[in-house]
C-alpha cells in the first residue's frame, strides 16, 4: 500500500513542483508525507524529504501562504506571480494524477484487456431475485431495459453504475416485454456495509469457479478453478444469484451440478451444507467463489489509449455524480473508501495473478486522487483554483482576514471528513452484530 500511494503522491507533487520550477517560483520543501522530517537531502533552495505521517505530501513554495510575511519585491515568491501562472501550478498536481491514470490503463489494455462479457451487452434481464426491488416493481426475466433514468438503450455497465449510485431513489424504467412497452419505476435498496443501491435483477453473466473453499462440498467433489457451472439438476443456470437461491430451496439435498471443463461436459453430485456466507449470514453453500465469463484480449497502442481515455472520462463523471449525491444526502458517505479500504483493495490486487490488476487499481486510485484534489475546498488544489478565479473576476485580491477564516473552516471540514471516512472504514469491517 505504501508503495502504491507513495507513487501517486510523488507524481501529484511532482506536477506542482515542475510547474513551479518552470515559472521560477522558489520551492522550499518537497515532501512525501506530513509532520516530522525523517530523512532526505537538500539541493539548491529545496529540501527533498520523507516525513513521518504517510497520508499525503506537499510542495512548499516561498510566499504561498498569504498569512506569512510577504516580500512583494521577491520574484521567487508564489504570490508575486500572475494569477494564470499560479492557476497552472495549482492544477498541475491533479493533472499529473489524471495523466498517470490514463497512462497506466493504456499499458494494462495493451498487455491484458479483460472485462466481464456481459457489461457491454444490452439490458436484457435474465433473473429477478425474489423479494428484491425489481421483483416488487414487477420486473421479470426476459424484460429488455430500453431506458433507465434518461439513459437510452443502456448496457449493463451503465445500468449497474446508475443503480449503485441511487439507493432509495425512484428511477423511471422503460422495458420491452414480449413486444409490449411498459413504463415502470424501481427504487434500489441499499445493501452491504457501503449501502450501495441494488435492484435485484441480473444479466446472463455465466458462472465460472474462481476459488474453491477447502473442505467444502465443491472441493470434495472435485470442482476446480475455471470450471463453468451450466446446470443444476438438469436446469440451465447462468446467474450466480439464481444458483444461490436454488440451493436455499434444495437445502441439504444432493444436487447434480453440470460443469463445462475444457470443452467437456461433466456432472458432479454436491450436497450443500449450512455455512456462513460473506455477509456472515447462514446459507446453504457448496463452497466456491465465482466470477462471470470474461472477454480477454490485447489492444494496440491507439485503441488502448482511446479506451483508457473513454474509461477515465466515464469514471470521472461517476465520481462527480457520487460527490453530488453525497452533498445532496442521497447516498451514504459509507460508499467512500478510506485508507483501510484502499489498503484492503491493494492487498487483494497484489494476490491476483500478474501485475495488471495492481496497475488497474493504481490507475483508479490516482484518478480519484486527482478528482478529489480538484474539489472547490480551500487548502485543496481546487480551492486554490476557485479563489484565483474569484480574484480574477474581482480584479483584486481577497483580504487576508477573509482568506484566513476560509482556510480555518476548510481545515476543520477536512479533519471531520477524514475522521468520518476512517470511522466508516473501521465500522464496515467489524463483524455484523458486534
Count of structural domains, the chain? 3
Give pLDDT tens digits for 180-199.
Answer: 999 999 999 998 878 899 99
Residue 34 resides in a domain: yes
Three-class SS of residue 165? coil
C-alpha distances (whole Å) from 210 to each of 215, 228, 263, 381 are 16, 10, 17, 42
Rounded Cα distance between 117 and 78, Å, is: 51
**pLDDT at residue 434, rounded to an integer:** 37
169 and 245 share a domain? no
Three-class SS of residue 208? strand
Residue 254, domain extent: 207-283
Element (H, E) at 276: strand 273-276
413 and 321 share a domain? yes
Contact 325, 412 (CB under 8 A): no
Task: Find the CATH number of the domain harbouring 245.
Answer: 2.30.42.10
Contact 61, 26 (CB under 8 A): yes
Residue 163 resides in a domain: yes
Whether the per-residue pLDDT at 56 is higher than 60: the answer is yes
**pLDDT at residue 180, rounded to an integer:** 96
**pLDDT at residue 290, rounded to an integer:** 92
| Closest to 285 measured CA to CA, from 250, 239, 238, 236 | 250
223 and 342 share a domain? no
**pLDDT at residue 172, rounded to an integer:** 97
434 and 304 share a domain? yes
102 and 133 share a domain? no
Least confident span in 250-254, 320-324, 340-344, 375-379: 340-344
Q: Which of 283, 313, 328 is the last residue of a domain?
A: 283
198 and 219 share a domain? no
Strand pairing category for 189-191 and 196-198? antiparallel
Predicted structure pTM score: 0.82
Residue 106 phi/psi, 5-degree rounding, is -60, -45
379 and 411 share a domain? yes
Q: Which of 177, 202, 227 is the last residue of a domain?
A: 202
Whether the per-residue pLDDT at 343 is higher than 70: the answer is no
Least confident span in 29-33, 51-55, 180-184: 51-55
Three-class SS of residue 95? helix
Residue 117 resides in a domain: no
* Helix, strand, coil percent content, the chain, rounded in steps of 5: 45, 25, 30
431 and 318 share a domain? yes
| Closest to 175 measured CA to CA, from 201, 196, 204, 212 | 201
**pLDDT at residue 354, rounded to an integer:** 61
Whether the per-residue pLDDT at 173 is higher than 80: the answer is yes
Residue 323 resides in a domain: yes
97 and 16 share a domain? yes
Residue 118 resides in a domain: no
Residue 153 resides in a domain: yes
Highest mean pLDDT among 65-79, 233-247, 410-424: 233-247
Identify the residue whose cell numbers are 515568491.
Answer: 77
Residue 107 phi/psi, 5-degree rounding, is -65, -45
Q: What is the DSSP letter of 184?
A: E
69 and 137 share a domain? no
198 and 215 share a domain? no
Q: Which of 169, 202, 235 is the last residue of a domain?
A: 202
Give pLDDT tens digits for 379-420.
Answer: 889 999 999 999 899 888 888 788 888 888 888 888 888 788
304 and 272 share a domain? no
Mean pLDDT for 150-158 is: 95
361 Cβ neighbours under 8 A, 6+ residues apart: 4, 345, 346, 349
Give pLDDT tens digits for 201-224.
Answer: 999 999 999 989 999 999 999 999
Residue 121 resides in a domain: no
Amino acid at each position: 500500500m505504501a508503495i502504491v500511494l507513495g507513487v501517486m503522491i510523488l507524481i501529484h507533487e511532482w506536477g506542482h513542483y515542475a510547474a513551479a520550477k518552470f515559472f521560477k517560483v522558489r520551492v522550499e520543501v518537497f515532501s512525501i508525507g506530513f509532520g516530522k522530517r525523517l530523512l532526505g537531502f537538500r539541493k539548491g533552495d529545496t529540501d527533498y524529504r520523507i516525513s513521518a505521517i504517510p497520508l499525503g505530501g506537499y510542495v512548499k513554495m516561498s510566499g504561498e501562504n498569504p498569512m506569512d510575511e510577504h516580500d512583494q519585491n521577491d520574484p521567487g515568491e508564489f504570490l508575486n506571480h500572475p494569477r494564470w501562472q499560479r492557476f497552472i501550478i495549482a492544477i498541475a498536481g491533479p493533472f499529473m494524477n489524471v495523466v498517470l491514470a490514463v497512462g497506466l490503463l493504456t499499458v494494462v489494455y495493451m498487455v491484458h484487456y479483460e472485462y466481464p462479457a456481459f457489461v457491454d451487452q444490452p439490458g436484457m434481464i435474465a433473473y429477478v431475485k425474489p423479494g428484491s426491488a425489481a421483483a416488487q416493481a414487477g420486473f421479470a426475466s426476459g424484460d429488455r431495459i430500453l431506458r433507465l433514468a434518461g439513459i437510452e438503450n443502456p448496457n449493463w455497465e451503465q445500468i449497474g453504475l446508475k443503480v449503485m449510485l441511487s439507493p432509495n431513489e425512484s428511477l423511471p424504467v422503460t422495458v420491452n416485454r414480449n413486444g409490449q412497452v411498459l413504463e415502470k419505476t424501481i427504487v434500489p435498496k441499499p445493501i452491504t456495509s457501503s449501502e450501495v443501491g441494488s435492484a435485484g435483477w441480473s444479466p446472463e453473466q455465466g458462472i465460472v469457479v474462481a476459488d474453491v473453499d477447502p473442505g467444502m462440498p465443491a472441493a470434495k467433489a472435485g470442482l476446480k478453478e475455471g470450471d463453468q457451472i451450466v446446470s443444476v439438476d438438469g436446469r440451465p443456470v447462468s446467474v450466480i444469484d439464481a444458483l444461490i437461491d436454488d440451493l436455499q430451496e434444495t437445502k441439504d439435498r444432493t444436487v447434480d451440478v453440470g460443469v463445462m471443463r475444457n470443452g467437456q461436459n461433466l456432472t458432479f453430485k454436491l450436497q450443500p451444507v449450512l455455512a456462513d456466507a460473506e455477509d456472515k449470514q447462514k446459507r446453504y453453500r457448496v463452497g466456491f467463489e465465482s466470477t462471470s465469463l470474461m472477454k480477454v484480449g490485447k489492444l494496440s497502442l491507439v485503441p488502448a489509449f482511446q479506451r483508457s481515455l473513454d474509461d477515465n472520462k466515464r469514471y470521472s463523471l461517476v465520481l462527480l455524480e457520487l460527490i453530488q449525491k453525497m452533498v445532496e444526502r442521497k447516498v451514504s458517505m459509507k460508499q467512500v473508501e478510506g485508507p483501510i479500504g484502499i489498503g484492503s483493495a491493494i492487498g487483494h490486487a497484489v494476490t491476483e495473478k500478474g501485475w495488471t490488476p495492481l496497475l488497474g487499481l493504481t490507475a483508479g486510485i490516482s484518478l480519484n486522487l486527482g478528482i478529489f484534489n480538484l474539489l472547490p475546498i480551500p487548502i485543496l488544489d481546487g480551492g486554490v483554483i476557485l479563489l484565483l478565479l474569484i480574484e480574477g473576476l474581482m480584479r483584486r485580491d481577497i483580504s487576508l482576514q477573509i482568506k484566513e477564516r476560509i482556510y480555518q473552516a476548510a481545515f476543520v471540514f477536512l479533519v471531520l471528513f477524514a475522521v468520518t471516512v476512517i470511522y466508516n472504514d473501521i465500522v464496515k469491517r467489524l463483524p455484523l452484530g458486534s
